Amino acid sequence: MGKQITEKRLLNIALFYLTRYEASEQKLRQMLERRVKKQALNGENIPPETDKWIQNVVQKAVASGYVNNERYAEITIRILCRQGKSTAYIRRKLSQDGIDEAIVNQFLETENTDSETVRALTWLKRQRKGGYRSTQSDSVFQKDLAALARQGFSYAVAKEALNESYRVNQKPIPSDETWD
């Protein structure tokens, strides 16, 4: 049997987590809830006031400055832009993490210096797709276009980024029939 769930134990779990990862309020709350559910699945007795304890722990973390949604949004946006993620992907990710849309818009305007096409090119290069592939065939053009669409890039941006990836790598650009 594991250790009994108490408010003190939840606080220790949260502090350990926050020493390793940056988190939003919602993300910290979800992590603590997962830990409690895991204990319950292992047959541990979970006190009924656990939800109240989780709320208290999250409030203490916010009050102490360990959790700051604005700082989390700024860091996450910077990282995702560097990884070549689309604006749509970034908005969706931060929304899932409980970040207010106004905060997201604020940091997207200040941090987002690259265009969507540049970020799509970055993503293609990191994934070794488009003109960065070692082998080429007609079927991969459609697959690469679909992969960019799944990442949240529009058709126009995806097509422009794929064409640019071929130009940069001095490979023949596929004909328009390939894109239809």
pLDDT band at 171 (very low <50, low <70, confident <90, very high): confident
Q: What is the pLDDT, as a whole number, of residue 174?
A: 66
Please give the model's pTM, rounded to 2 decimal places. Answer: 0.80
- 50-81 pLDDT, tens digit per residue, is 999 999 999 999 999 999 999 999 999 999 99
Contact 24, 69 (CB under 8 A): yes
pLDDT band at 180 (very low <50, low <70, confident <90, very high): very low
Angle of CA points 23, 70, 6, to nearest 5°: 35
Domain boundaries, the chain: 7-64, 69-111, 116-179
DSSP count for the chain of H helices, then E strands: 10, 0
Beta-strand runs (E) in 62-123: none
Contact 82, 35 (CB under 8 A): no
Mean pLDDT of 2-16: 92
Q: How many C-alpha atoms does 21 have within 13 Å on its Cβ side? A: 10
| Encoded tokens for 53 | 């304890």
The sign of the CA dihedral 25, 26, 29, 30 is negative
The sign of the CA dihedral 14, 19, 25, 27 is negative
| Encoded tokens for 137 | 């065939």
